[in-house]
Amino acid sequence: MHSELVVIGGGPGGYAAAFRAADAGMQVAMIDQRAQLGGECLLQGCIPSKALLHVARVIAEAEESADWGVEFASPVIDLEKMRQRKEKVISTLSAGLKQLAKRRGVKVIAARAKFADSNTVELKATGDESLDEDRLTFDHAIIATGSRATVPPMFQLESPRVMDSSGALALAEVPSRLLVVGGGYIGLEMGTVYARLGSHVTVVEMTGGLLPGADRDLVKPLQKRLQALFAEIMLETKVTSLALDGDEVEAVLEDVEGENAQRFDAVLVAVGRRPNSADLGLEKTDAQIDERGFVIVDEHQSTADPRILAVGDVAGEPMLAHKATHEGKVAVAMIRGETIAQSPASVPAVVFTDPEIAWTGLTADEAKRQGRDVRVAQYPWAASGRAQAIGRTEGLTKLVLDPDTDQVLGIGLVGVGAGELIAEGVLAIERSATASEIAHTIHPHPTMSETLAGAAEIYLGVATEVYRPRRERKK
């Protein structure tokens, strides 16, 4: 069997590439070892976690509304119903992908793929159906095999009490005491879900702060809320060992003062992810991997093998679904001899906690590390009518600007709905917008989007709702 394009992996990188290529008239086969399409993001990542975070948000709002004069009784949690809803969301979207593949004539193969050489993959069936053929030759291949949770050997206890993100999303039960190892994206998102469902959550983070990649002033309002929600947040602390003891897990925690043992009912290990590049037969091709296992690609997603490209988590950080999708489209453009502007500077990041944190472009901390002269303008959400109306004034909108050109280099947000608001920031950076252009764009009132224009006005010294005397600008 021969295919013009073979895509290995049916996640957001893989299906975006397969669909784009099919739309351009290419003959495409998409191989995924799972029974359903959607990859980690849809089946065990982005979507199920957001379905559960939405429930967590509803519980929180019901509780908070007591302060606004509306009291609800304590929630009664039906875990089975929650699981069913989450699965329904997944199956609806996954079935949609299957339909879209069918209508586009993309051949979907449920198999594990491995390169036999630079134009052949070997297939091993993973579903119930046997395969027509166990080899597939191709003109081009796109590797979109994603990533998997890193679970250090000392945490591999083969017990349902020690979970990775998939285990936590399965929602088998709500443990009374949950230890979360890692204060990154997954630790804080899933920690929020379990805390709202009733677990006493302890987060242990190895570095000096939560979400090490984000600016500290954005993390601060989140950390304050999480300190109230979680039983404990332990920074500069490592979990050095885990041991099962009956129905409990004993964890040894190490900080500057030494070691101490604590007991939990379950543990979520969320200390990062690593690329799925092993056991792919890459050694039979000219594609190379780096020391962390990422497939090495250039800005067009090409590997060192002229027939093979790679996209998404397997092709490098940040490991985010929208980055995978964009790269899938860039790869197909490359194969077709076109080029799409690849602008990694504006890949947005969103942490879907409560409040959400979102940023794109240059962060203020990164500018400092680079010794780059930037100016930062901050709009406190306490000045926003909308933030006051919904009782969530802890937010902050900030712009990182080039003082010579007034160009916006980076945008950071913390607050309710920050993940939606950041899209305007991405466009601003993509279009090299200046502070005046954002300030002169009419934003609807009353919305939190006004805080973006407000931050630009603060930079220009002309803010309406915030009094900040004009600072001398360079030009």
Among 3, 5, 7, 13, binds ligand FAD (CB under 6 A): 13
State the binding partner of 22 from ligand FAD, ligand NAD, none, CB within 5 to 8 A by kind.
none
Long-range contacts of 215-218 (CB under 8 A, 24+ apart): 215/359, 215/363, 215/364, 215/365, 215/398, 215/412, 216/365, 217/364, 217/378, 217/396, 217/398, 217/412, 218/357, 218/359, 218/396, 218/398, 218/412, 218/413, 218/414
Does residue 408 belong to the site contacting ligand FAD (CB under 6 A)? no
> Active-site residue 2, yes or no?
no
Cβ–Cβ < 8 Å for 350, 362: no
3 state DSSP class of 5: strand
Among 111, 143, 204, 314, binds ligand NAD (CB under 6 A): 204
Among 5, 7, 101, 113, binds ligand FAD (CB under 6 A): 113
- Half-sphere exposure of residue 132: CA atoms within 13 angstroms, side-chain side: 6
Among 184, 191, 312, 380, binds ligand NAD (CB under 6 A): 184
Among 233, 271, 308, 321, binds ligand FAD (CB under 6 A): 321
- Half-sphere exposure of residue 473: CA atoms within 13 angstroms, side-chain side: 20
Cβ–Cβ < 8 Å for 354, 225: yes
Tell me whether residue 10 or residue 187 sits nearer to ligand NAD (CB atom).
187
Q: Using CA atoms in the order 150, 155, 156, 160, what is the torsion angle rounded to 10 degrees?
A: -100
Q: Which of residues 30-59 bind ligand NAD (CB under 6 A)?
A: none
Closest separation in Å from C-beta 410 to ligand NAD: 18
Cα gap 147→141, rounded to integer Å:
18
State the binding partner of 181 from ligand NAD, ligand FAD, none, CB within 5 to 8 A by kind.
ligand NAD
Cα gap 287→277, rounded to integer Å:
11
Among 110, 179, 186, 297, binds ligand NAD (CB under 6 A): 186
Residue 324 is given by DSSP the state H
Cα gap 185→272, rounded to integer Å:
9
Q: Which stretch binds ligand FAD (CB under 6 A): 2-10, 77-85, 336-344, 372-380?
A: 2-10
Closest separation in Å from C-beta 389 to ligand NAD: 27
Tell me whether residue 50 or residue 468 sits nearer to ligand NAD (CB atom).
50
Does residue 194 belong to the site contacting ligand NAD (CB under 6 A)? no
Q: Which of residues 218-277 bind ligand FAD (CB under 6 A)?
A: 276
State the binding partner of 59 from ligand FAD, ligand NAD, none, CB within 5 to 8 A by kind.
none
3 state DSSP class of 288: coil
Q: Using CA atoms in the order 105, 109, 114, 119, what is the torsion angle rounded to 10 degrees?
A: -30
**Positions in the binding site for ligand NAD (CB under 6 A):** 181-187, 189, 204-207, 212, 238-239, 270-273, 318-320, 350-352
Instruction: State the catalytic residues.
Output: 445
Binding region for ligand FAD (CB under 6 A): 8-14, 31-34, 39-41, 45-46, 49, 112-113, 144-147, 165, 186, 276, 280, 312-314, 319-322, 324, 352
